[in-house]
Amino acid sequence: MTTTPRKRIGLYELTWRLPIIVWQCVFFAGPVLFMVAMSFFLVRNYRMTEAFDFANWERMLTRGFFWDSYLYTVMIAAASTVCAMCIAFPAAYALALRASETTRRWAIFLLIIPFFTSYLVRTFSWFVILSESGVINALLANIGLGPFTMLNTSFGTLVGYMTLTLPLVVILQTVTMANIDRSLIEAARNLGCKPMATIWQVIIPLSKTGLIIAAIFCFILSFGDFVAPFYLGGSQEPTLPILILDTTKSGQQWPRAAVVAIMMMLTLFAIAFAGIALAYRKRKGAK
């Protein structure tokens, strides 16, 4: 068995890769390392002092309010991901496999348009729709229902998360399913596979990678979002981003906030790497 020698990176290749390496070091690795170091600082008289003390980690990781916030953030981000994936799939299926190429392009363009406006503005627009005197309760009042409280609840937070993530999830799912070999779908139908069975046994397995990547993006955006739980959820059950804000306001405790931020990053890294490993894992017997 012969092994191919590894290709050494020359000066030319390294020169072209240097900008992205510098960018990652300056704007990602550097701030992360500083945040890790800051988590060991101490605050005395509202001023941070350099130290190497685990008091901040002990303070945050042994408190029930931190773990309550952590579990709530994970659960509501996971719920947002499941809802977005389920709602986006029929639309993406229709655009990718039923609509014409022109219709698909226009649909993707229209899905991109919401990103042209501020997410904060789009979030505030839901106040008019979800309030007790808003559009939805006005429509329900015509049939004798309501009013229902939708603002300052977990439902309001979910609506905000969906506003942020749903267009992106539809786009990713559409692009993924549009690249499926149509002959495989036709072969399944010719062999007597029913429509739902075709979706479960052919379309979803062939688009597994794109679907998982879409779910990862949705979870990451929801997990780290501050706007939706603060303005639509009312901070009734604080998520980790809101906990960071409250911690910094409480005696300028930036080191404790850094602990929360590091725990968020570790969680997202674990989920992202696990999701990518699952997305690109080959089935047994596949070459």
Higher pLDDT, residue 181 or 11: 181
Cα R_g (the chain), whole angstroms: 24
- What is the widest separation between alpha-carbon atoms in the chain? 77
User: Quick one: pLDDT band at residue 103, thresholds 50, 70, 90?
Assistant: very high
Higher pLDDT, 15 or 111: 111
Identify which of 150, 154, 112 has the alpha carbon closest to the alpha carbon of residue 131. Answer: 150
8 A C-beta contact, residue 84 and residue 171 = no
SS3 39: coil
Q: What is the mean pLDDT of residues 268-276?
A: 93
Instruction: Find the angle CA(251)-CA(257)-CA(260) to the nearest 5 degrees.
Output: 150
Top-confidence range, 1-10, 16-25, 111-120: 111-120
- Judged by average pLDDT, the poorest of 43-47, 139-143, 222-226 is 43-47
Among the residue ranges 25-34, 55-64, 179-188, the one predicted with the least confidence is: 25-34
CB atoms within 10 A of CB 120: 10
Interior CA angle at 190 toward 195 and 95, to 5°? Answer: 45
Residue 252: predicted pLDDT: 79
Q: Which domains does the chain have, with CATH numbers?
A: 65-279 (1.10.3720.10)
- What proportion of the chain, given as a percentage, has pLDDT over 70? 93
Q: CA 204 → CA 11, 158, 168, 172, distances in Å?
A: 43, 25, 18, 14
Q: Write down the pTM of the prediction.
A: 0.88
pLDDT for the residue 226:
92
Amino acid (one-letter) located at 171 = I
Q: Do residues 267 and 78 make contact, with C-beta atoms less than 8 angstroms apart? A: no
Q: Which residue has the higher pLDDT, 143 or 12?
A: 143
Say yes or no to pLDDT of 46 above 80. Answer: no
